Amino acid sequence: MMEQAKKLSFTLIFVLTSVLLAACRSGDIKQQVSTSYQGYLVQAAIDSFKVKNNSVYIYGGVTAFKPDGNLQGFNLSCLMLREQNTKQFSRSYFDSIASHISILEADESGRVNAPVYWTFPYDDAFDVKQAILSIAIVKVGEFDCFRSLADVNKPTLDLLKLE
């Protein structure tokens, strides 16, 4: 009886370990994607992913700028990541404790650089390492996606300065 209980406990430990490892996979994916919108350029460097709680978290960084250096702020809520095979979109989230903040201030050179992440529902059809990713600018809400120095007469945005 005791031997049978030991076998059962080892089997349960093995099954639970397998489930935990499968539920929390992670890895590297290196992709560079970019888009332009009304003279502004946005580039995303996608670095890694993590599968957790039936979701895929994709991590990277975003850079937004205008070639003339005339960018004051960027609304991160406008940036969407698209997975081409499943046709799914995800909005961008600022990858920090203050992840609810979406409007970011440009640095002195007129660039916004920020760590970001995106989430997608996970299922067997979503193969992260084979994903074909692209980004798109989609205006959401009442604010513009970009704020330039020429926009001084428009309502101000609450800008988050990254340091």
pLDDT per residue as tens, the chain (163 positions): 556 544 544 443 333 333 333 444 677 778 899 999 989 999 999 999 888 888 889 999 999 999 988 899 998 889 999 988 778 888 888 766 655 567 888 999 999 999 999 988 887 666 777 788 888 998 876 668 888 765 544 544 444 444 4
pTM of the model: 0.71
Rounded Cα gap, residues 33 and 152, in angstroms? 30
- What are 64's strand-pairing partners? 42, 112
CATH node for 25-151: 2.60.40
Q: What angle do CA 136, 138, 140 make, to 5 degrees?
A: 150
Residue 97: exposure state from Cβ atoms within 10 A (0-12, 13-18, ≥19):
exposed
